[in-house]
């Protein structure tokens, strides 16, 4: 029993780890951090191995949550650096907002962010995103539409400030 469980976990790791780590890499823009996140997702899966019905979905949702935590930590660090920098010197002009898509996706409410991450960054079909999140396909489509509209508005606003 343990041997077949270990074999199944090993096969799952070989099949999914490279793609999961690559997906995380696109989200965090750092190889080492991406591998840490993907490894942590597998560690959490292994701890719940017998109770997880859909390992692939569990891995991606777990990784998305870890990425979100990473983004939050990074943003807190950026704010602290900006605060120290601002206190140390007066800037001649305000810094333009960063219009990167990653930061904009990070700013979305979780209800909209998770479908965006799973559908566009993990290349999951709407049907699978629906199953993983427990929401109807129509709701996922509406959330994706709402998220794209918010991203479009934020991106346009960010670009207007840089011109």
**pLDDT tens for residues 26-61?**
999 889 999 999 999 999 999 988 888 899 999 999
How confident is residue 74, by pLDDT bands cut at 50, 70 and 90? confident
Confirm whether pTM is higher than 0.95.
Answer: no
CATH 3.40.1380.10, domain 94-162, yes or no: no
Sign of CA dihedral 147, 153, 154, 159: positive
pLDDT at 96: 46
Domain with CATH 1.10.10.10 in the chain: 94-162
Residue with more model confidence, 160 or 141: 141
Closest CA to 54 of 154, 144, 124, 148: 124
In three-state secondary structure terms, 30 is coil
The residues, any chain, with a CB within 8 Å of residue 129's CB and separated by 6 or more, are: 115, 118, 119, 140
Q: Are the C-beta atoms of 56 and 17 separated by less than 8 Å?
A: no
pLDDT digits (tens, 9 = 90+) for 99-129: 577 778 888 888 898 898 888 888 888 998 8
């Amino acid at each position: 029993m343990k041997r077949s469980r270990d074999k199944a976990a090993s096969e799952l790791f070989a099949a999914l780890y490279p793609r999961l780590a690559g997906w995380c890499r696109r989200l965090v823009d750092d190889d080492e951090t991406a591998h840490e996140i993907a490894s942590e997702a597998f560690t959490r899966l292994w701890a719940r191995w017998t109770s997880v019905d859909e390992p692939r979905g569990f891995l991606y949702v777990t990784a998305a949550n870890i990425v979100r935590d990473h983004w939050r930590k990074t943003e807190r660090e950026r704010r602290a650096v900006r605060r120290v920098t601002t206190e140390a010197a007066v800037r001649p002009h305000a810094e333009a907002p960063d219009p990167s898509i990653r930061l904009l996706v990070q700013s979305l409410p979780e209800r909209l962010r998770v479908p965006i991450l799973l559908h566009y960054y993990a290349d999951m079909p709407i049907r699978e995103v629906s199953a993983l999140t427990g929401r109807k396909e129509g709701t996922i489509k509406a959330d994706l539409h709402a998220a794209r509209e918010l991203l479009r508005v934020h991106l346009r606003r960010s670009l207007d400030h840089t011109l």
